[in-house]
Structure 1
Amino acid sequence: MTGVSAAEWGLPTRCAPWNVSELLAHVRVVIAWLPGMLAAPAPSCAEVSAVEYYRPDDRFAPGTNAARIALAQDHAAEQLSGAALADDFNATWQQVDRLCQAEPEGRVVRTRHGDPMLLSEFLLTRVVEVAVHGLDLADALGREPWLTSDAADLVQGLLLGPDGAAALEKLGWGQLRFLRTATGREPITREEASDISRLGIRWLTLG
């Protein structure tokens, strides 16, 4: 994102009404929840998995979505330029990485929605956010997807379980196409949707 031109920061994305700068600001916001979560008292036990985090409740209601949109737009507007926004995102993820590396295995956190989760499970939801919105940003900018194989494997595992690779091979789909389709980023036919459902996919509710 550090190589994005001034004009490109204003390009529209599929995540309307966000443009490129606002979508990157959103990705920064979803990472930036972690310092406060780690500073808060740890719940006694985890009750929600990464899959359950994406359940269809009020976290994806119109009012919550509107607040999510406004928060990203406000953060983007606070930055003097797209380059400053990219630098801010870089500093944010590095801070979060240092904090998470210092936590013990089995650390439990409470999300802003009130979910007690293993830190590792919540971080998996952050990989989902970075991965799928990375596809959105690359598409908006007309670039080749920069999704890493590690991130793709984690999101695929979340959606299909440990046998996902074998299931995809039977379907004859590439990993990138599957991830685009399973997260609503590529249209499919009714027959293709039926094929995906037979894989035992864990459908996620995405705002």
Structure 2
Amino acid sequence: MRAPERGALPLGLAATLGRTYGRLTEVVQGLSDADYDRPTRCEGLAVGPLLVHLLYDAERALMGFATPSGAEADRDFVTYWQDFPPRPDGEPVPDTRFLRTVASAYAEPSKKLAGHWRELSEAAARAAVVALAEKGHKVETQGHVLRASDFVATLVVEATVHHLDLTLELPAAPEPDPEALQVTARTLDGLFGPEAWDVIGWDTTTYVLKATGRLPLTEEDLDMLGPSAIRLPLLG
């Protein structure tokens, strides 16, 4: 099968980020306190600690938008992830203990942790609107310089993958935003390469889950991918 051309990022990325974060808010706002102890697809992290991890990513967004740069961009929405290779199977998420400790400090996570996420994520989405309104705007983050649009795409990918992680035992939770899934797939396409993507027959959600190691590859998958299978997972 021939893959569609999906290399370009969509217009209106700030709105995509707003919807992406909004869907995550929908996932957590109706949970009970006990639900924050449910497991996720992230090794060693329950719902509460994983939401804390997402809080810090929204904080990364605000810090990035508040750190404009006049330097040349040295990363784009694909190459940014090359500094974050996937972890070996079974290796826990870095700072797992720290994230658990912070999550445990929220006495009523269904109110206070969810409320903190909503406020911080909404602020980050508003900041994205301002940053993307300036043509050619660049930001500094994680020791690199990215165009604002590429930076926003990295935020969409992080939130979308972890949205799928959070909903492992939450079958009634809403799905990620469709355009956010497409941005994530475009990013994975860039990391995987067109030759590999040309043989993939998965739907977009399955692609994201399998290309990030959230779902194991079956024998049929290995036959489909051939020698490209060794390149998975692309992200941790």
TM-score strictly above 0.5: yes
- The answer as to 2:169 corresponding to 1:140 is yes
Cα 1:158–1:185 change in 2 (3 A) is same
Q: Separation in 1 of the partners of 2:233 and 2:29?
A: 30
Q: Indicate conservation of the 8 Å contact 1:159/1:203, yes or no.
A: no
Q: Give the CA deviation at 1:74.
A: 3.9
Q: 1:79 corresponds to which residue?
A: 106
Q: Give the CA deviation at 1:57.
A: 5.8
Cα 1:196–1:85 change in 2 (3 A) is farther
Q: Separation in 1 of the partners of 2:188 and 2:136?
A: 22
Cα 1:173–1:144 change in 2 (3 A) is farther
Pick 1 or 2: higher relative contact order, CA cutoff 8 A, min separation 6.
2
Cα 1:184–1:75 change in 2 (3 A) is same
Amino acid at match of 2:119: A
Q: 1:37 corresponds to which residue?
A: 64
SS at match of 2:224: helix
Q: 1:7 corresponds to which residue?
A: 34
Q: Deviations over 1:12-34 (max 9, x none)?
A: 22212211111111112111112
Identity %: 26
Aligned positions of 1:36-185 closer than 5 A: 36-56=63-83, 66-67=94-95, 69-83=96-110, 84-103=112-131, 104-112=134-142, 114-143=143-172, 146-160=175-189, 171-185=200-214
Q: Give the CA deviation at 1:154.
A: 0.9
SS at match of 2:82: coil
Amino acid at match of 1:154: V
Cα 1:56–1:47 change in 2 (3 A) is closer
Give me the TM-score of the superposition, normalised by structure 2.
0.71
Q: Separation in 1 of the partners of 2:203 and 2:163?
A: 18
Q: Give the CA deviation at 1:78.
A: 3.3
Task: List gaps (5 residues or longer) in structure 2.
Answer: 1-27
Q: Deviations over 1:159-180 (max 9, x none)?
A: 225x98xx67x74422221221
Amino acid at match of 1:82: P
Task: List gaps (5 residues or longer) in structure 1.
Answer: none
Q: Indicate conservation of the 8 Å contact 1:56/1:205, yes or no.
A: no
SS at match of 2:175: coil
Q: Indicate conservation of the 8 Å contact 1:55/1:205, yes or no.
A: no
Q: Indicate conservation of the 8 Å contact 2:86/2:233, yes or no.
A: no
SS at match of 2:139: strand
How large is the RMSD of aligned CA atoms in angstroms?
A: 3.2
Q: 2:7 corresponds to which residue?
A: none
